[in-house]
Amino acid sequence: MYLTPAPNAPHTIDVVVVGAGFAGLYALHVLRKKGYSVRVFEAGDGIGGTWYWNRYPGARCDIESVEYSYSFDEDLQQEWDWPARYADQADILKYINHVADRFDLRRGIQLETRVTSALYDEAADRWTVATSRGETYSAQFCIMATGCLSTPKQVDVEGIGEFRGRSLHTAAWPREGADLTGLRVGVIGTGSSGIQAIPHLAAQAAHLTVFQRTPNFSIPAWNHPLSDAQRQVHKAEYAVLRAREWDSNQGICRVPVRGDHAMDATPAEREAEYEARWQMGGLSYYMSYVDLLTDPRANETVAEFVRNKIRQKVKDPVVAEMLCPKDYPFGTKRLCADSGYYETYNRDNVTLVDLRATPFERFDAGGVHTADGRYHGLDVLVTATGFDALTGTLSNIDIRGRGGERLSARWRGGPRTALGIMSAGFPNLFVTTGPGSPSVLFNMILGNEYHVDWIVRAIEDLRRTQRRSIEPTAAFEEHWTRHVNEVGNQTLFTQANSWYMGANVPGKARQILLYLGGFKAYKDTCEAVASKGYEGFALG
Ligand code: FAD
Ligand code: NAP
C-alpha cells in the first residue's frame, strides 16, 4: 500500500523499482511478499523488458529455456511447458506475462512511465524519483532493474537521416511485424541479433545486403520442438539442475563442464572435444577447456576449428573467408547461436559487403554509397547495431547521490562499483546484473534472482538492526573495481573491441564491464560480505 499524497507532494513508498523485465518483476514479487510498499516503473507499454522490445524475426534465447527461466517457484516450473529447446521471443514474452498474472504483479507496475531522475536527499535518507508523467515518489530504496541491453545503439553514417526507405532497429521492432516481401533490404550488424535475423530477412526479401564490419563466431543452436516426454524429463530434473546451476560459473548445466586444459590434450583429443561441442550447439564451448579464454594458443585451436566449419558451410570461398573472424580471440565477443546463418550466404538473393574493405561513404534517399564506388539501393534498412550496454541506460537517468554528485559523472572514466550492485556516494541505490558483476556471463534470469535476493536481504537486515542506509565504502569500491580489472586482464576478453569492453560506443571508456572470475567466486564473495555484517559497506 502507498499513501495518496497531498497535491504536488511526492508519493511515499518503501521501494521504487525501475524496469519491468525479469529483474523488476522478481523484485516486486519478493518485496511485496515481505510487506514492503513497492512501485515498478516501466517505459514500455508492456512488461518483459528485453523480450518486449526485441521482436525481430528469429529472436530467441541462446540458453535452453529449461535453464533460461525463473527458478524461484517449483510449481511455476512444473506447470509451464516450453515448446522448444530455445523458446522464441513470443513464447518468452508469454511466459513473462503468465508469471505476472500468476503472482498478481500487474497492479504494482506502472507502464509507459519513464523514470527521469533519482535524487538523494541526505537529510531524509531517501530518494526522490521523478517520472515522465510528472509524478514524484519518495522512497527509502531504489532498485535500478533497468537492464544491461536496454539502450539501443544507432548508426552514425553521413547522410543516414536522408534515407527515405523504412528504418528498423532489431531492438525496437514493430509489434505488428514488418512485411519485407519483395523488398530490397539492407542489414547493418552481425552480432547475435543480426545473426538470428538474417536467415529470416533473406527468406522474405527480394534481395538482402548484409553490411558486415566484424564477423562473429556462430555455433548452430540445433533448436527443436520439445515433446511431452522430453518436458516430463526436464520437470523431473529441475531440482537437481537448479542446484547445479547455482553452484556453477555460467548457470548453464545441461552440457558437460570441463576443468582441464586444451594445451594438455593432444590435437586429436581437442578435435574430438570441439566436434562434440559443435554437435551440442549454442554456448557449450564456454563450458569446454578452461584455458580457451586465457591462453592464446588454446584459443587459436578452437577458433580455427570453427573457421573450418564456416569454410565447409559457405560455398563461395571468398565469402567464407569474409565470414571468418581473425582479429580477436574466439568467445571474447559473445558467441552467437544460430539457425542456418552461414547457409544463408549460399542463397542467390544475399550479398555480403565487407565494411572494413569498402566502408560506407554516404547514405541518400534511396540507399548507400560504399567506398568501392558501388551504390546499394535499399527499400528497408535494418540496424542490428547493439546497445550502449550496462551503463547507457543508467546514464540516461539523472541519478544524483551525496552532495549532488551525478552517477554518470562518477562513472565517466568507467563504472566503479562494489560487487556490481552499489556505488559509493549512492546509499540505498541498487543495480541488478550491472557492471562489475558476472552479469551477462551468467544465466541472466538466475543472476537477476541472485541480485534481488541479496538486495532484499540487505534491506531486511537494515530494518532488523534499525538502520536506515547501506552504502559501499570508497575503499571497498576501489578494491572491487581494481579486482574486476585485474581478473579481466588475466583473460583474452580485453583483446576484443566488444561491448563487454565498452568498445562499441564511440567515446565510452575502455574497461572490462563484467566480472570474469566466475559466478561461484562472485557468489562466495557476496555471501561473505553479507554474513560479516556487510563488510566493506557503511551502514547508516
Ligand atoms: P531488461 O529485460 O532489459 O528490462 C529492463 C527494463 O527497464 C526495460 O523494459 C526498459 O524499458 C526499462 N527501463 C530502462 N530504463 C528505464 C527508465 N528510465 N524508466 C522506466 N523503465 C526503464 N540473456 C541470457 O542469459 N540468455 C539469453 O538467451 C539472452 N538472450 C537475449 C536476447 C536478446 C535479443 C537480448 C537483447 C538480450 C538477451 N539476453 C539474454 C540478455 C537479457 O537482457 C537478459 O537475459 C534479461 O532479459 C534482462 O532482464 P532485466 O530485467 O535485467 O532487464
Ligand atoms: P552486438 O553484439 O553489439 O552487435 C552489433 C553489430 O553491429 C556488430 O556486428 C557491430 O560491428 C555492428 N555495428 C555496430 N555499429 C556499427 C556501425 N556504425 N557500422 C557498422 N557496423 C556496426 O549487438 P547485438 O547483436 O544486438 O547483441 C548484443 C547482445 O545481446 C549479445 O551479445 C547477447 O548478449 C544479446 N543477444 C542475445 C541473443 C541470443 O542469441 N539469445 C540475441 C540477440 C542479442 P562491430 O563488431 O564491428 O562493432
Nearest ligand atom owner, CA of 157? 2
Range of the domain at 54: 11-151+389-539
Asked whether residue 5 is assigned to any structural domain, the reply reads no
Name the closest-CA residue to atom 53, ligand 1.
147
Asked whether residue 146 is assigned to any structural domain, the reply reads yes
Residues 371 and 231 in one domain: yes
Res 454: pLDDT: 98
Domain boundary among 336, 365, 383: 383
Residues 326 and 184 in one domain: yes
Domain boundary among 349, 383, 417: 383
Name the closest-CA residue to atom 33, ligand 2.
192
- CA 48 to ligand 1 center in whole angstroms: 8
Asked whether residue 400 is assigned to any structural domain, the reply reads yes
Q: Does residue 196 line the site of ligand 2, with CB under 6 A?
A: yes
Which residues sit with their C-beta closer than 6 Å to ligand 1?
Answer: 18-24, 41-44, 49-50, 52, 54, 59, 61-63, 68, 114-115, 145-150, 193, 393, 397, 432-433, 440, 443-444, 448
Asked whether residue 1 is assigned to any structural domain, the reply reads no
Residues 263 and 349 in one domain: yes
Q: Please provide residue 39's backbone torsions phi and psi, each rounded to the nearest 5 degrees.
A: -130, 130
Under 8 Å between Cβ of 22 and 45: no
Domain boundary among 340, 368, 383: 383
- Sort 467 into a burial class: Cβ within 10 Å, 0-12 / 13-18 / 19+: middle
Under 8 Å between Cβ of 137 and 16: yes
Lookup: cell for 80? 509451464
Q: Please provide residue 180's backbone torsions phi and psi, each rounded to the nearest 5 degrees.
A: -105, 10
pLDDT digits (tens, 9 = 90+) for 290-339: 999 999 999 999 999 999 999 999 999 999 999 999 999 999 999 999 99
Residues in a beta bridge with 387: 152
- Which atom of ligand 1 lies at the shortest distance from residue 442's CA? 25
Lookup: cell for 76? 511455476
Q: Does residue 56 line the site of ligand 2, with CB under 6 A?
A: no
- CA 188 to ligand 2 center in whole angstroms: 9
Say which residues have a Cβ less than 8 Å from residue 185's Cβ, sequence separation at least 6.
Answer: 201, 204, 205, 207, 208, 209, 378, 379, 380, 381, 382
Q: Does residue 325 line the site of ligand 2, with CB under 6 A?
A: no
CATH code (residue 94): 3.50.50.60
Asked whether residue 187 is assigned to any structural domain, the reply reads yes
Rounded CA gap, 415 and 389, in Å? 12
Asked whether residue 313 is assigned to any structural domain, the reply reads yes
pLDDT digits (tens, 9 = 90+) for 23-60: 999 999 999 999 999 999 999 999 999 999 999 999 99
For ligand 2, mutation pick of 65, 89, 155, 504 (most atoms within 8 Å of CB): 504
Residues 139 and 259 in one domain: no
Asked whether residue 327 is assigned to any structural domain, the reply reads yes
- CA 293 to ligand 2 center in whole angstroms: 20
- CA 89 to ligand 2 center in whole angstroms: 17
Residues 89 and 203 in one domain: no
Res 7: pLDDT: 57
Q: Does residue 505 line the site of ligand 2, with CB under 6 A?
A: no
Residues 140 and 25 in one domain: yes
Global model pTM greater than 0.95: yes
- CA 275 to ligand 1 center in whole angstroms: 32
Residues 351 and 209 in one domain: yes
Distance set, CA 250 to CA 67, 204, 240, 520 (Å): 11, 36, 16, 9
What is the Cβ-side half-sphere exposure of residue 325, based on CA atoms within 13 angstroms?
A: 27
Nearest ligand atom owner, CA of 48? 1
Residues 396 and 485 in one domain: yes
Nearest ligand atom owner, CA of 50? 1
Residues 144 and 223 in one domain: no
Res 2: pLDDT: 42
Residues 521 and 477 in one domain: yes
Res 8: pLDDT: 66
- The total number of structural domains that make up the chain: 2
Res 481: pLDDT: 98
- CA 149 to ligand 1 center in whole angstroms: 6
Asked whether residue 3 is assigned to any structural domain, the reply reads no
- CA 445 to ligand 2 center in whole angstroms: 21
Rounded CA gap, 525 and 532, in Å? 11
Residue ranges in the chain whose pLDDT is less than 50: 1-3
Rounded CA gap, 234 and 226, in Å? 10
- Which atom of ligand 1 lies at the shortest distance from residue 53's CA? 9
Residues 216 and 352 in one domain: yes
Q: Does residue 213 line the site of ligand 2, with CB under 6 A?
A: yes
Residues in a beta bridge with 207: 184
- Sort 357 into a burial class: Cβ within 10 Å, 0-12 / 13-18 / 19+: exposed
Res 10: pLDDT: 85
How many CB atoms within 10 Å of residue 412? 14
Residues 240 and 281 in one domain: yes
